[in-house]
Structure 1
Amino acid sequence: MTSAASILLVDDDFHLADSMAMWLREMGYEVVTAESLGTAKSSLRKRSFDLVITDLRLGHEDGFDLIAYSRKEHPDTSVLVVTGYATPATAVEAVRAGAYDLLTKPLIDEELTLAIERSVHQRKISQENETLRQQLDRRSGMENILSHDYRMLKVFDVVDSVADARASVLITGENGTGKSMIARAIHSRSARRSGPFIEVACGALPDNLLESELFGHVAGAFTGATGNRLGKFQLADGGTLFLDEIATATPAMQVKLLRVLQEFQFEPLGGSETHSVDTRVILATNEDLSKAVASGAFRQDLYYRVNVVNIVIPPLRERVGDIPLLVDHFLREAAEASDRDIDGFDREAIAALQSYGWPGNVRQLENVVERAVLLSRNSTLTMEDLPPELTGRNGDVTFASSAIDSASSPTRSLSDLSGRSLREALEGPERIIILQSLREHQWNRAATAEALDINRTTLYKKMKRLGLDDPRLQYAS
């Protein structure tokens, strides 16, 4: 029994109510009595109660009105009905109206005590569940965004503040810092959470395909357009559209984006019908858009439109204190996925992880931890399990040594060309150039293709032909 529980006792029979109140107080409850519906409502407006015990007949008034009022104005308060005119149908109706239980007069002390204890206990459970739900809601969408850094905590506060706003949000930060996760967190914590979340990597598509991807197209709009197709803006209607790598949009695409962000209206590619959407837009870039505006590469009016709220994600090297937390999280995930029993990194290895610059940020850290778990033979991970770029050691796994030897000795290379075709002779230097660029861009193939001024399909074919598609190469020196 909860002795501190408060009860509002409502009955038009004053003597019965007074007698029952006295008995309940002796049981340890705090009791307030009311003789009418108006008095009961007045008491409920003044304070909250754990439980309302009411008769269904209050003179000429109906106890169902009190049940409805309590359910609407005080949903956390349980209602226990006590009546001398109960039928099975009355009991069902009372429970449907919001009553926790119904007892019939004359009352049995033990029956009433048990009913009160159950209702008060149920109220406590409901309150605990609500508290838990609120705690989960506060973390909803940010379950995998782990940080103790004060700048990231400020980011979390901004996410909460702008989650339900209609305004565009611009997320900036280096590659691998988690811009997509922040965008998803904003969506998950907004009133649009039940709607779609659609992500588009603007840099991965040429301009004409990007326009079709975003706005859709009609049949015959271009070669191969055999039917109408909805764009991402329409598919994200009622939800959130996340435009990543927005700085790569061409001037023509920037004009189209400016209009849809201002008016939320557009025409599909090749069509004349105007469509309106209710789509929340979040954008991201790893570039400094203010510099792009100054150089003329990015429209100033579009910059002001997308930069209503700017969330800046700090790079991992500036929040070293988060590294042990992230390492522990990634280690547990990798160990579980590979069915390995791993205790963790030793102090020297953790120190090395914290002293590294992390050009690939959190994404690179995750890869390093996964590599260590997969390649280590021991339960404790050490410096030996870290890749060469973190330790300064030469890698113990080497690939294409003949190509590297040839590059370091031009005279020898020239002497070995006899009997080889030009393509075969160029494979060694070509492989070295591609491998070096892949490493410089943390094996990001899109960035590598752009740096080498070739398209991604060509890069993939070359990597396969030159043996660079082996995933173990990522962990070699």
Structure 2
Amino acid sequence: MTREIGKSREAARAGGDATQALPVALLIDDDQGDLILPDEPFTLAGCRPVRCAGLTEVQDACAVSWPALVFMPLSLGGKLVSTQLIECLSQEPAPVIVVVASNDQINAAAEAMRLGAYDCLFKPFSQSRLTRTVEAAVNKLRQAPPSDRRAPRAARPARPLGLPDRTEVLPQTEARPPEPQASAPQSSAPQSSESTAGDPQAGAPRRVGALNLSRSGFVASSAAIKKVLERAMIVARSDAAVFISGEIGTGKSTFAKIVHDASPRADGPMVTLSCATLTVREFEAQVFGRDGAFARAAEGTLYLDEIADLPAEVQSRFAHIIESIPPGRTGAGPRFIGSTVHTPSAALQGGLIRPELFYRLHVAPLALPPLRQRDGDAALAAQVRLAALSEAEGRSFTGFSDNALAMISDYAWPGNLRELVNVIQTIVLMNQGPLVTPELLPPEIRAGQRYGRIMSHHPNGAHLATGPTTALNGQAEALVGKTLAEIERTVIEATIQAEDGSVPRAARVLDVAPSTLYRKREAWAKTPRDAP
């Protein structure tokens, strides 16, 4: 591979080669020297490809011609690498970086994107997918300010790109990709549906924040849902099966559509199969008939809505089907996305999903938090939906009073976004506006289900309260007069007890780290309740 570097050195000395004006695309092969990326997409995009094999050649090439684009494998010598990525991003101007990964490196790819990589290519990929990725990376480069694209060499560190001959696991850092924007809430999916992306750039690589979420009817404001969305954008680039879990109304169908729209299969259809209505007798016709779901989704995505509701015989058949499809071969069969209202462990241990199907679908899991754990999203979704429905129904609503918005934020929303949308739709249909006040809200929201935000609905489906708990009724009444620290202890201990003593499961319910609960319990052990 030294011939390309030698040519770049000779061209640099000559100074008259017109190709020197082109941005350099540094293509890093793996340690075996496999030509994993062809030159053609880069030259057609107006770049000068420089190919390197191994870290030493990379260092030499960077000293000769600083790259504008870097396409690098996620592993070298069988180990994940971080030094290259960190070093590249620390230089000025920082190049646009695309990492190349295999389907079993989803978590590492997500971390690379979090560190600042622009995109990720999952092997195997098609020529068209590579071309779209290169074009998107070049467009990203062109969008940068001129000062960032052509900074003088003196502005960069004096040393060349330092790439020591060692590998390590990608470390934590504060660098994060752009955050997703807010848009309209979801609408329920039909029993059996098929959708295609109408966007001419539907097949183009997308990052969090670049995807047009308004087409999916999605609201993203809280850190909890943004974290899941970032992961969804990563797994979308792979052809791996996706397993989405979450309570009723959390947006599982919406997330399935988001994954499809951000995937290399976005130009194909997404076919939704309602597992709750599929009987063993109907299975062959609806799935494998001439116009069955499998055939329609061959170049797209087959979404199995509520996979736990499939009869056991049908689940076994699906497991064998998924196993028989060659990975990464679009057209040989669909990509599979499954969803369930149950937690994965409950679905498996309770026998709701057969193990052979579970382990073939549970490759890239996405656990959607309930609305009560998404700070700020209930108020945001209510405002967005109010504006949309008010316009559609010819009403004159302009917003919410402060008290009404506070009540919406405090309510537990056991039906999540689906319940919220129904409430807003009823308000719009039955009133003229212009302001939503507390009097227009349902009684249970006016009463305030604050304590129920923690105690009523657990991810595993257990219910500690049989109905709404108001601020002065039931368990909440017993908390009046206690300090905030005492209330916190009561809630934490009750949640741990409800989760059969499991601190990790209680931590998921309370949306905190398990270490936080362990520290608090250790402190409580040193200070008994009857201590002064």
Q: TM-score of the superposition, structure 1-length normalised?
A: 0.51
Check the 8 A contact 1:141/1:189 in 2, yes or no: no
Whole-Å separation in 2 of the counterparts to 1:139 and 1:46: 24
Q: Deviations over 1:399-444 (max 9, x none)?
A: xxxxxxxxxxxxxxxxxxxxxxxxxxxxxxxxxxxxxxxxx9xxxx
Offset, 1:197:
0.8
- Looking at structure 2, the residues matched to 178 and 125 of structure 1 have their Cα atoms a distance apart, in angstroms, of 31
Contact 1:247 1:289 in 2 (8 A): no
Distance in 2, matches of 1:69 and 1:240, equals 32
SS in 2 for 1:282: strand
Q: Is 2:345 aligned against 1:284?
A: no
* Contact 1:233–1:277 (CA under 8 A) maintained in structure 2: no
Q: Which moved more, 1:367-376 or 1:138-147?
A: 138-147
- Change in 2 beyond 3 A, CA 1:361/1:304: same
Partner of residue 374, structure 2:
319
Distance 2:44 2:239 in 1: 35
1:369 matches 2:424: yes
- Quick check: 1:202–1:210 contact (8 Å CA) kept in 2? no
Which of residues 374, 392, 395 in structure 2 aligns to 1:337? 392
1:238 aligns with 2:212: no
Q: CA deviation at 1:328?
A: 1.2
Aligned AA for 1:363? R
| Distance change (3 Å), C-alpha of 1:205 and 1:377 | same
| Alpha carbons 2:23, 2:47 under 8 Å: kept | no
Q: Are positions 1:384 and 2:465 aligned together?
A: no
Q: 1:41 to 1:344 in 2, by over 3 A?
A: same
* In structure 2, distance between residues paired with 1:257 and 1:70: 42
3-state SS, counterpart of residue 39 of structure 1: coil
Change (3 A) 1:187 1:70: closer
1:163 lines up with 2:236 in the alignment:
yes
Deviation at 1:307, TM superposition (A): 0.8
Work out which of the two has the higher radius of gyration on C-alpha atoms and give 1 or 2.
Answer: 1
1:44 & 1:128 partners in 2: Cα distance? 18
Question: Which one-letter code corresponds to 1:207 in the other structure?
Answer: V
Q: 1:41 to 1:283 in 2, by over 3 A?
A: same
CA shift, 1:38, in A, is 8.3
Asked whether 1:73 is paired with 2:47, we answer: yes
SS in 1 for 2:253: helix
Alignment of 1:177-192 (within 5 A): 177-192=250-265
Q: Percent identity?
A: 32
Paired residue for 1:196? 269
Partner of 1:241, secondary structure, is strand
Q: Given the alignment, which residue of 372, 392, 408 partners 1:353?
A: 408
> What are the within-5 Å matches in structure 2 for residues 327-476 of structure 1?
327-392=382-447
Flag the 1:47–1:182 CA change in 2: closer, same or farther, 3 A. closer
Name the structure 2 match of 1:453: none
Whole-Å Cα distance in 1 between the matches of residues 444 and 381 of structure 2? 19
Q: Please list every run of at least 4 consecutive aligned residues from structure 1 whose deviation after the TM superposition is greater than 6 angstroms.
A: 68-71, 123-126, 133-137
Asked whether the equivalents of residues 352 and 391 of structure 1 are also in contact (C-alpha less than 8 Å), the reply is yes
Name the counterpart of 1:254. Answer: 315
Distance 1:286 1:171 in 2: 9
Give the match for residue 205 of structure 1: 278
**SS of equivalent residue, structure 1 residue 340:** coil
**Which whole-Å CA distance do the structure 1 matches of 2:361 and 2:368 have between them?**
17
- Structure 2 residue aligned with 1:294: 349
Deviations along 1:250-293, one digit per CA (max 9) or x if unpaired, are 1100110100111139xxxxxxxxxx833111000002342333
- Does residue 142 of structure 1 match 2:213? yes
Distance 1:253 1:41, change over 3 A: same
User: Paired residue for 1:264?
Assistant: 325
Give the corresponding residue for 1:25. Answer: none
Q: C-alpha separation between the residues in 1 aligned to 2:228 and 2:409?
A: 22
- Could you say if the C-alpha distance between residues 202 and 42 of structure 1 is closer, same or farther in structure 2, counting changes exceeding 3 Å? closer
Say whether the 8 Å CA contact 1:315–1:361 is kept in structure 2.
yes
Structure 2 CA distance for aligned equivalents of residues 359 and 306 of structure 1: 27
Amino acid aligned to 1:287: H
Distance 1:323 1:295, change over 3 A: closer
Q: Secondary structure at the match of 2:347?
A: helix
| Equivalence map 1:36-185=2 (5 Å) | 39-41=16-18, 43-44=20-21, 72-73=46-47, 127=142, 138-140=209-211, 142-143=213-214, 144-185=217-258
Deviations along 1:13-59, one digit per CA (max 9) or x if unpaired, are xxxxxxxxxxxxxxxxxxxxx9xx982235325879xxxxxxxxxxx
TM-superposed CA distance for 1:242, in Å, is: 0.5
Distance 1:307 1:136, change over 3 A: closer
AA matched with 1:41:
A
Give the Cα separation in 2 of the matches to 1:282 and 1:45: 42
Find the aligned partners of 1:157 and 1:126 in 2 and give their Cα distance.
Answer: 22
User: 1:47 & 1:310 partners in 2: Cα distance?
Assistant: 37
Q: 1:263 to 1:340 in 2, by over 3 A?
A: same
CA contact (8 A) 1:234 1:277 kept: no
**TM, length-normalised to structure 2:** 0.46
Equivalent residues of 1:241, 1:280 under 8 A apart: yes
Give unmatched runs, 5+ long, in structure 1. Answer: 1-33, 49-67, 76-122, 217-228, 266-275, 394-439, 441-477
Q: Quote how far apart the aligned CAs of 1:361 are.
A: 0.4
Contact kept, 8 Å, 1:171 with 1:282, in 2: the verdict is: yes
Aligned to 2:287: 214
Instruction: Specify the code of the residue in structure 2 equivalent to 1:348.
Output: N
- Is the CA contact 1:238–1:279 (under 8 Å) kept in the aligned structure 2? yes
